[in-house]
Structure 1
């Protein structure tokens, strides 16, 4: 795919993960560039300065761990590298990926769909998690071993194991991503719900391995790597959830009305 740049985020010490991910990516017929993940246990003063703990407590209800900050910065670095190219699309993979055997075919048709719907302004595709609510099916990709249903995800799912960026989406993300105040997958969820700019699959072509993470960077969903919670954490979490639900439902209704 001549208009696609692919990046694999991997910690220097996670050599086994690199070999595993490399095998899967090569099997899918993709050329990629490895990006050294930001090590959350070795953050520099400059890297720590990009994180706003007060805003994290206010918006997210808790502080972030070093691993979560490192994961966020790693994805920012991947987007920066993509934007330095002249490619139209950027595929960012974490090193715990499991790719469907038809991944290359799915990716090619997905890019063809995006090329033919540029007027819709889609910014990002979550390739690794399905929508839980508030979505509209857009297109079915038929491949050898089944179908993959692409949808507009008004309620964008979490996880960043595999993300496809459009150039305009990457530019928008880069303009909005600082200061850091939530894990990157939660930021993308909130950002996409607010802007109604994300897609995903009902049956994702990428999943993640079940192996225990070796690194803080990947273990952003582990309780052991979470920061300290505010006393009103659960209230803030519930309010954020209610706000996101209302926004997603409103976007879904507006989209369905536009089809009438």
Structure 2
């Protein structure tokens, strides 16, 4: 049965073609999730799903429209996982590239989903500190990263966790990958596979990347003096403190 869900914008046909080639060659059944284009969302929808007040108080930076669309796209993937009635689903953003035996990792996770809610399949940092490290498959291990990686390039999620997150994730005020880092807020156990079976692949997008849009947004919005760096410092220090407290209390393990 299909348990892999690929998020893809209608305009990004080159990315979709790359996904087709990689997943089909690996013998992985999958389903495309039409991504939400944040630029096309009407104001009333934006007001319902994005909490600007909480963003100012608790987030690192204002969300740009592609980030809002990205979060809503992951919600669509979670809905598909819940509807599938499978114990887990795997969500892939369409700019991934396969580096390991992805099919074997997915099969192993499907038989090992009692001790985690979300398992990341990629991390930008290769030397992530893992707690409770153990064997997952012949070539991989799984463990709880002390600090959850900031990426949603690819991850597995249990059906129960997807159902729970659907009930409490809107309105949101952070990017979805940042939300995963604050695992204690939604009582999530986030694991990581090492070595990761994925890496970043094709980056060209018909609408530009989130990073491109964020840089343009910063250039176009006048920020008063040191307000922006102070906001980033407040966010970073607050996160570090809460992370250490959560781990000391045994949360997310």
- 2:236 aligned residue: 241
- 1:125 aligned residue: 119
- 1:99 aligned residue: 98
- 1:188 aligned residue: 180
**CA–CA distance in structure 1, aligned partners of residues 22 and 227 of structure 2:** 43
In the alignment, structure 1 segments of 5+ residues that lack a partner are: none
Give the TM-score taking structure 2 as reference length: 0.84
Tell whether the 8 Å contact from 2:100 to 2:198 is kept in structure 1 after alignment.
Answer: no
**CA–CA distance in structure 2, aligned partners of residues 67 and 246 of structure 1:** 29
**CA–CA distance in structure 2, aligned partners of residues 177 and 225 of structure 1:** 27
- 2:23 aligned residue: 25
**CA–CA distance in structure 1, aligned partners of residues 67 and 32 of structure 2:** 20
Tell whether the 8 Å contact from 2:104 to 2:137 is kept in structure 1 after alignment.
Answer: no
Shift of 1:15: 0.8
- 1:48 aligned residue: 46
Aligned length: 245
In the alignment, structure 2 segments of 5+ residues that lack a partner are: none
Cα 1:172–1:112 change in 2 (3 A) is: same
Q: 1:179 aligns with which of 165, 171, 177?
A: 171
Question: What RMSD over aligned residues (CA atoms) do the two structures have, in Å?
Answer: 2.7
Q: What SS class does the counterpart of residue 212 from structure 1 fall into?
A: coil
**CA–CA distance in structure 2, aligned partners of residues 201 and 208 of structure 1:** 15
- 1:220 aligned residue: 210
Cα 1:126–1:202 change in 2 (3 A) is: same
Q: What SS class does the counterpart of residue 149 from structure 2 fall into?
A: coil
- 1:150 aligned residue: 142
Tell whether the 8 Å contact from 2:22 to 2:98 is kept in structure 1 after alignment.
Answer: yes
Q: 2:198 aligns with which of 206, 209, 213?
A: 206
Is 2:6 aligned against 1:14?
Answer: no
Cα 1:29–1:226 change in 2 (3 A) is: farther
Q: What SS class does the counterpart of residue 164 from structure 1 fall into?
A: strand
**CA–CA distance in structure 1, aligned partners of residues 68 and 161 of structure 2:** 21
- 2:155 aligned residue: 163
